[in-house]
Amino acid sequence: MNTISNFWNYFEQNNFVFLLLNEIPNDELKIHFNKLIQILHQYNKDLDLIIKNKKNGAELIITANGNPYLFKEVELLVHHAPVVERWKITAFLQPETNLTKYENGTEKPLDFYGITLRISEMYFIPLENSNKPTDLGIKVLLKNYIIHKDNTRLREAVYVHIEHLIGEKAFANDIAFIEIGQLGGNQKNTIALCYLHAYILVKQ
């Protein structure tokens, strides 16, 4: 319990630093951020955190990076979270609910180790495993797969996109396997990736 208390004590005492991200010098911010991560890793070295600043406050997300074996650790840590004014403390990346930016193609592309991908330009085809008919697999189709196919980080980049789109738990629990390929000229039978979460809910 000590490591949990240490983490939340540090966060409570320094939460204003993370709340005022844009007004604090980068060097100072980096020191506090690294310290927060360091204390988190004393609790569990494989957990991570994301801070999202909003108009009237901020959100601290504790993530297991999609590893279902760590979900209990995340839930325990967040269960002991204190109430901190102007903060929302969340367990796991949650599904994206506003799909408009993807439907319109106006979202910011995510750059991951030099691989630039946009969800609005990604599609998928559902795949079935005849040995396990209840398992849902997908083949993700990318416009620029040919350019990145030899990059060892490509699979990771695609996973990060999907995890942010459908939420960490759905990513870990509802998709059994993922293939990646090139988006062809004929987009028949393909579904825009932004509708993946809706597709999963219909299939359940």
Instruction: Give CA torsion, residues 100, 86, 71, 68, to 10 deg.
Output: 20
Burial class (CB in 10 A: 0-12, 13-18, 19+), 140: buried
Residue 41, pLDDT > 90, answer yes
Q: What's the whole-model pTM score?
A: 0.82
In whole angstroms, give the CA distance from residue 194 to residue 101: 10
3-class DSSP assignment, residue 126 = strand
Chain centroid offset of residue 79 CA? 20
- Quickly tell me which residue has 């599904």 as its tokens: 95
The length of the chain is 204
| β 123-128/191-192 pair status | antiparallel
Give the pLDDT confidence of 107-155 residue by residue, as tens digits: 988 888 889 999 999 999 999 878 887 888 999 999 989 999 999 999 9
Give the pLDDT confidence of 60-72 residue by residue, as tens digits: 999 998 899 999 9
Give the number of other CB atoms < 10 A from CB of residue 150: 7
Copy the structure tokens of residue 144.
């620029």
In 3D, which of 146, 197, 141, 139 has the Cα closest to residue 173? 197
Contact 104, 178 (CB under 8 A): no
Cβ burial 160-192 (10 Å sphere, 16+ → b, else e):
bbbbbbbbbbbbbebbeebebeebeeeeeebbb
| Average pLDDT over all residues of the chain | 91
Residue 1, pLDDT > 70, answer no
Give the pLDDT confidence of 44-59 residue by residue, as tens digits: 999 999 998 888 899 9
